[in-house]
C-alpha cells in the first residue's frame, strides 16, 4: 500500500521518539538503582537520617543482645534510609533504642525463636509474593510462594504454626475483594492448609457460599485452634477454627481482624461502623460474650491489633495526608471497659508491631 505522501518526516519523528524513550528509561532506571544502592548502604553514626546501628555491625550486634534481654518489639520501619526494614527495639524506648536488620518485610510477626515475614512480589523471586520463615539472626529458613499481596500474618504463641493472608486481585465476584489464608507448619516449613478448604458451620448446620473469604487469623495457646474472620458480600463473621478437624464454626457477627489477648480473656477486633467504610476498635469477651468499644480511640482503624500487655494494644494509623514516613505510625490504646484514655503514639514511621517478652 503506497502512502499518499512521503512518510519520511513522520518516520524520523518516530525514530527520535523511540530513541528518547529507550535512552530516557534506561538512564532513569540506572539512576534510581544507584539511589537505591546508596540508600541501602549502612549509614554512619553521624548521619541524622538513620542513627540506629545495623544488625551486622559490631555495635548493632551488642545492642541487639541487650534489647533482646528485655521486653522488645519488632516492627516494619518506613523511615527513609531503612524503608521496609525490620527493626528490633526496646519496648520502653521503641523510637530510640533500636537496631535495623537487613530483612525487608511488608508484614511480619516474631516470637522468641522465629519470625514470619511476608513480602509482596519485589522481582527477586519472579512474579510471586512469598512468606519467609526466619530465625533470630534473620536468616531465611524457608520461603513459600504466596498467591497475592500480603495483608496479615500471625505466629502462634508456641511458634509451631503461622498464618498468612493475602489479597487477591482479578478474582472478583460481586464481593468487594478476595483473600486467601494459608496455615504454615513451622516444624516442616510447608504450607498445610488453605482455610477455604475447611468445612464451615453456622448454628450447627453446614454453611457454604462461593464468595467466602478468610482473613486475620489469631492463634490460641494451643496452636491447633484459632479465631479468624469469615467474610462474604456485606457480612463479616468471627469464626473459631480447628486445624486438626479442618473445620470452622461461626461465633459472632460484625467482627473483623480479631486479636486474642495473651491470657485469652479478651479479643480486640475492628467493628464496621454501619453504612460507612470505617471501623472502630471493639473488645469482646469470648467467654460470656460481653462487647464494648475502645472508648479513647475514635479514629478509623484498619489493622489487626497487637497486644502490648494484658490491657493495651498497638496498631497502625495512617494520617489522611503525607508520605508513609510522616503519616504512618503505631499507636497505643488501653482497652479495658469503662476506660476512656486518648491513644498515644507509640512508634513513629512504623507498622506491623510484634511484641516479645523473653
Partner 1 sequence: MNVWMLGLTSLVTDISSEMVTSILPAYLIFARGISPSTFGVVDGLYQGGASVARLLSGLVTDRLRRYKEVAAVGYFASALSRVGLLLAGAAPAWLAAAVLLDRVGKGVRTAPRDALISLSAPRGGLGTAFGVHRTLDTIGATLGPLAAFGILWFTQRDYESVLVVSVVVALFGLAILLTFVTNPARPSTAAPPPSDTAAQMRLLENRPFRALAACACVLGAVTVSDSLIYLALQRQTGLQPVYFPLLYVATPAVYAIAAGPVGLLADRIGRQWVLAGGHMALALLYALLLLPSGAWLTGAGVIALLGVYYAATDGVLPALGSVTLPVASRATGLSVLGTAQDMGRLLASLGFGWLWSRGSVDGAVAAYLAALLVAVLLLLPTLRRLGFHTE
Residues facing 183 on adjacent strands: 163, 193
Instruction: Compute how many residues bind partner 1; rule: CB under 8 A.
Output: 71
Contacting residue, 121, 160, 242, 254, with partner 1 by CB under 8 A? 121
Q: Pick the closer one to partner 1 by CB: 48 or 276.
A: 276
Helices (H) and strands (E) in the chain, counts: 3, 26
Q: Pick the closer one to partner 1 by CB: 40 or 69.
A: 40
Got the DSSP string for 73-109? Answer: EEEEE-STTSTTEEEEEETTSTTTSEEEEEEE-SEEE
Q: Pick the closer one to partner 1 by CB: 261 or 352.
A: 352
> Using CB under 8 A, which of the segments 221-229, 239-247, 315-323, 335-343 binds partner 1?
315-323
**Please, what is the minimum distance in Å from the beta carbon of residue 236 to partner 1?**
11
Contacting residue, 13, 140, 290, 310, with partner 1 by CB under 8 A? 13
CA angle in degrees (0–180, nearest 5) for 187-188-194: 105
**Residue 314 in contact with residue 332, Cβ under 8 Å?**
yes
Q: Which three cell numbers stand for residue 170?
A: 482479578
Q: Which three cell numbers stand for residue 194?
A: 488453605
**Please, what is the minimum distance in Å from the beta carbon of residue 342 to partner 1?**
22
* C-alpha to C-alpha distance for 233 and 229, rounded to whole angstroms: 13
Count CA atoms within 13 Å of residue 313 on its CB side.
27
By CB under 8 A, what part of segment 149-208 binds partner 1? 149, 151, 167-174, 176-177, 180, 182, 191, 194, 196-197, 208
By CB under 8 A, what part of segment 244-273 binds partner 1? none
**Please, what is the minimum distance in Å from the beta carbon of residue 153 to partner 1?**
13
**Please, what is the minimum distance in Å from the beta carbon of residue 151 to partner 1?**
5
**Residue 296 in contact with residue 309, Cβ under 8 Å?**
no
* C-alpha to C-alpha distance for 241 and 9, rounded to whole angstroms: 69
Using only the alpha carbons of the chain, give its radius of gyration.
23
Contacting residue, 8, 187, 205, 277, with partner 1 by CB under 8 A? 277
Residue 276 contacts partner 1 per CB under 8 A: no
Residue 313 contacts partner 1 per CB under 8 A: no
* C-alpha to C-alpha distance for 321 and 186, rounded to whole angstroms: 39
* C-alpha to C-alpha distance for 251 and 99, rounded to whole angstroms: 41
**Please, what is the minimum distance in Å from the beta carbon of residue 307 to partner 1?**
21
Residue 36 contacts partner 1 per CB under 8 A: yes
By CB under 8 A, what part of segment 72-111 binds partner 1? 78, 84, 104, 106
Residue 328 contacts partner 1 per CB under 8 A: yes
Contacting residue, 128, 250, 336, 339, with partner 1 by CB under 8 A? 128
Nearest Cα to Cα of residue 338 among 298, 293, 282, 299: 293
Q: Pick the closer one to partner 1 by CB: 67 or 328.
A: 328
Q: Pick the closer one to partner 1 by CB: 52 or 316.
A: 316
Count CA atoms within 13 Å of residue 274 on its CB side.
1
* C-alpha to C-alpha distance for 306 and 314, rounded to whole angstroms: 5
The greatest distance separating any two alpha carbons of the chain, rounded to the nearest whole angstrom, comes to 85
Residue 146 contacts partner 1 per CB under 8 A: yes
Residue 3 contacts partner 1 per CB under 8 A: yes
The contact mask relative to partner 1 for 49-78 (x = CB under 8 A, - = no) is -----------------------------x
Residue 19 contacts partner 1 per CB under 8 A: no
Amino acid at each position: 500500500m503506497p502512502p499518499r505522501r512521503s512518510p519520511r518526516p513522520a518516520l524520523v519523528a518516530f525514530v527520535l521518539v523511540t530513541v528518547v524513550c529507550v535512552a530516557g528509561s534506561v538512564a532513569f532506571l540506572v539512576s534510581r538503582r544507584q539511589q537505591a544502592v546508596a540508600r541501602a548502604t549502612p549509614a554512619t553514626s553521624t548521619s541524622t537520617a538513620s542513627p540506629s546501628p545495623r544488625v551486622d555491625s559490631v555495635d548493632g550486634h551488642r545492642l541487639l543482645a541487650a534489647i533482646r534481654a528485655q521486653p522488645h518489639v519488632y516492627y516494619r520501619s518506613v523511615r527513609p534510609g531503612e524503608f521496609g526494614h525490620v527493626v528490633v527495639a526496646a519496648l520502653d524506648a521503641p523510637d530510640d533504642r533500636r537496631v535495623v536488620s537487613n530483612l525487608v518485610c511488608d508484614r511480619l510477626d516474631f516470637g522468641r525463636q522465629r519470625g514470619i515475614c511476608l513480602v509482596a512480589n519485589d522481582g527477586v523471586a519472579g512474579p510471586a509474593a512469598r512468606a519467609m520463615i526466619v530465625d533470630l539472626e534473620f536468616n531465611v529458613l524457608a520461603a513459600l510462594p504466596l498467591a497475592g499481596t500480603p495483608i496479615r500474618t500471625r505466629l502462634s504463641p508456641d511458634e509451631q504454626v503461622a498464618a498468612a493472608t493475602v489479597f487477591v486481585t482479578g478474582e472478583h465476584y460481586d464481593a468487594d475483594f478476595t483473600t486467601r489464608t494459608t496455615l504454615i507448619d513451622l516444624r516442616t516449613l510447608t504450607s498445610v492448609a488453605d482455610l477455604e478448604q475447611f468445612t464451615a458451620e453456622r448454628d450447627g448446620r453446614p454453611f457454604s457460599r462461593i464468595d467466602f473469604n478468610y482473613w486475620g487469623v489469631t492463634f490460641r495457646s494451643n496452636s491447633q485452634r484459632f479465631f479468624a474472620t469469615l467474610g462474604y458480600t456485606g457480612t463479616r463473621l468471627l469464626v473459631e477454627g480447628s486445624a486438626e478437624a479442618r473445620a470452622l464454626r461461626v461465633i459472632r457477627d460484625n467482627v473483623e481482624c480479631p486479636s486474642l489477648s495473651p491470657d485469652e480473656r479478651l479479643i480486640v477486633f475492628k467493628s464496621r461502623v454501619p453504612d460507612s467504610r470505617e471501623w472502630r476498635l471493639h473488645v469482646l469477651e469470648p467467654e460470656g460474650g460481653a462487647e464494648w468499644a475502645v472508648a479513647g480511640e475514635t479514629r478509623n482503624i484498619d489493622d489487626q491489633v497487637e497486644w502490648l500487655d494484658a490491657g493495651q494494644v498497638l496498631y497502625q494509623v495512617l494520617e489522611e495526608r503525607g508520605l508513609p514516613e510522616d503519616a504512618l505510625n503505631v499507636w497505643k490504646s488501653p482497652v479495658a471497659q469503662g476506660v476512656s484514655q486518648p491513644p498515644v503514639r507509640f512508634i513513629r514511621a512504623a507498622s506491623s508491631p510484634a511484641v516479645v517478652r523473653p
